Structure 1
Amino acid sequence: MLKSSTFITATLLALMTSYSAYATNDTVIRVGGFYANTDSNIDVNDPLLGNSFALDFEQDLKLEDSQFLPFFEFIHRFNDRHNIYIDWKQLHRSALVQSVEKPFQFTWDNTTYDVKAGIELDTTLNIDIARIGYGYDILQGDNYELGLSIGLHAMFIKTAFKGDIGICEVEIETRCPDTITIPKVVDEKLTAPLPDIGVYGSYELYPGFRFNGHAQYFYIKLDDLKGGLVDIRLGVEAAITENWHMTAAFNYYEVDVEYTTNLKNTDIKLADYNMYYSFTGPMLSVSYQF
């Protein structure tokens, strides 16, 4: 419940940076959906050859690579030039493979697990991205605004495998003599709140029709974490009534995160976790202003 509340809160704040063309001291709530194309993988070990390879969640484990996803945004504008924003995007997927083609081993929390070829495997990969931030209009005119934004974003990543999974003994070398079958292995990661910067603007094309957009960027390389975020959106908003608006937009969105897992108290790399999430395509949303 706490994690869900955090997602929603972060989602509301990001919306405010994209759409600043409203009256002073108002609030906008927006809900919508878009289609995402996703590519994600985890670097695992080959128990037969002893080398590592990238296990693809979409190709090898049959997770959907294209999916309709929801998003939620919130904006509060105050004192004419200021606004705060929250937004939240969700990508939840699961798939059942009747027979694993490639045997593999992976390590989480200094425990190595063994997945044998031919077994039935149920895989879950859930990604939630929440952002919160502040925007300031540096330029304003009768029919346009241009501003700068700064914010924080966090990613919640849950990976789960369920099937005939065994636990191995981990030393300098990984040994799996007699594996112990366990029902489910779950790994949950939360990135610390990381900063992002951006620009946004809007221009009134015609009474009741407004062109708006934003661009945000972030990149970091720190210890065992490396990642980046790019978010570019351009769209047209049409007024349905005084309070209700509809927006059609084109969005390019990309998140790339890499974690490296080492054997405890050593520099020996056991596994890498790489998550790449991209979306390029149309978005539709409805907003309410009050």
Structure 2
Amino acid sequence: MKKIFAFWILTLFWIPIKAQTAADNMLSESLSTNNAANDDFQDQYAEDLPWHARRFKVTAGAFFPVNNTQVQVARNGNSGTMIDLEDDLGFNKSSTSFMGTFDWRISRRSRLGTEYFVLNRSSSKRLEKEIVFKDHTYNVDVLVTAFFDVQIARIYYGYAFLSKPKYEAGLLIGAHVLFGDLGLRTETQQGSGEIRDNFAFTAPLPDVGIWGEFVLAPKFGLFVNANYLSAKVDNISGRIISYNLSVLYNVYQNFSLTAGYTGLNFRIDDQEERLNGFLKWGYNGPTITATYTFGNHVKLYKH
């Protein structure tokens, strides 16, 4: 599975870059008679909007999601319990995490981007119902401590079908890769030992979507995107829906602040030879990030 996924990622990078290079060469020939006028316009545009359409963009900040999580792990044919992490194990619905992104505008219409998100959660609760999780049964009224640690990496390629100085829109193709680890632990009744189980998994989920970027005013910008796909890779099947809406305020030159609302909703089924796992997880909430753009301005033509 790792070799197939690595090949898919390399193909995602290589084909769009080669195709876009050829397209841009053709475009530059067709616009040769208008180069002087366009260059004058571009220079003025870059001076008015120093933060927009730069070659590189880096963001980092905080995410405040509200979580809804369901998990079921069965082993060797037993019927694992469907567990609601927030209701059954006492996980807080609200949390705070770090997120970061990096974007590279390859050309006028093409861009590559990466995102990274991390969220580590833990809880302690006396059970109100019996839970069967992996190898053990956790009885009613025992004190269980649990953790759910997740890292999500995303890579995507975007192509702009509309590419104007103050608005762009296009398609996205990419993949989220979820690295998760869920564990439960409790002491035995005699207090001389403990029982514990954990379920670790890696789930690559491709997705496709649409995006748009708009200049609202000299110091304000708007970015939106939405992604969806349902697919199966080897023994892992999944569905993903994600979206983002954010407003940018340019503080000074290349530095800006961004406030937005982000959501990501997963459904994953992992079918192994002796282990079956199910995860349904949605997190949605506001984001606050700092944005820094650098590199030369990408040419955006008004005609």
| 35-44 or 129-138, which deviates more | 35-44
Structure 2 residue aligned with 1:151:
174
- Say whether 1:226 aligns with 2:231: no
Change (3 A) 1:246 1:103: same
- The count of residues paired between Structure 1 and Structure 2 equals 240
TM-score, length-scaled by structure 1: 0.73
| Structure 1 or 2: more strand by fraction | 1
Q: Which residue identity does 1:54 align to in structure 2?
A: M
Q: Matches of residues 1-290 of structure 1 in structure 2 within 5 Å?
A: 22-23=52-53, 26-43=55-72, 53-97=81-125, 99-107=126-134, 112-164=135-187, 181-182=193-194, 184-191=196-203, 193-221=204-232, 225-260=236-271, 264=274, 272-279=277-284, 281-290=285-294
| 180-189 or 114-123, which deviates more | 180-189
Give CA deviations for 1:149-199 in whole Å, capped at 9, x if unaligned. 211221111011122369xxxxxxxxxxxxx954542221011x3321121
Q: Which residue identity does 1:147 align to in structure 2?
A: G
CA RMSD, 1 decimal: 2.7
CA drift at 1:29: 0.9
Contact 2:79-2:132 within 8 A present in 1 as well: no
CA–CA separation in structure 2 for the residues paired with 1:165 and 1:80: 63
Unmatched tracts of structure 2, length 5 or more: 1-12, 14-50, 295-303
Change (3 A) 1:162 1:53: closer
CA–CA separation in structure 1 for the residues paired with 2:209 and 2:56: 21
CA drift at 1:125: 0.9
Unmatched tracts of structure 1, length 5 or more: 1-12, 14-20, 167-179, 265-269
CA drift at 1:225: 3.3
Q: Which residue identity does 1:188 align to in structure 2?
A: A
Contact 2:119-2:149 within 8 A present in 1 as well: yes
CA drift at 1:52: 5.8
Q: Which residue identity does 1:209 align to in structure 2?
A: F
| Structure 1 or 2: more helix by fraction | 2
Q: Which residue identity does 2:87 align to in structure 1?
A: Q
Percent of pairs with identical residues: 24
CA–CA separation in structure 1 for the residues paired with 2:111 and 2:218: 23
CA–CA separation in structure 2 for the residues paired with 1:261 and 1:79: 43
Which entry has the higher C-alpha Rg, 1 or 2?
A: 2
Contact 1:105-1:115 within 8 A present in 2 as well: yes
TM-score, length-scaled by structure 2: 0.70
CA–CA separation in structure 2 for the residues paired with 1:51 and 1:29: 46
Instruction: Write out the 4+ residue segments of structure 1 that deviate beyond 6 Å after TM superposition.
Output: none
Give CA deviations for 1:55-80 in whole Å, capped at 9, x if unaligned. 22111110111112221111111222
Contact 1:44-1:55 within 8 A present in 2 as well: no
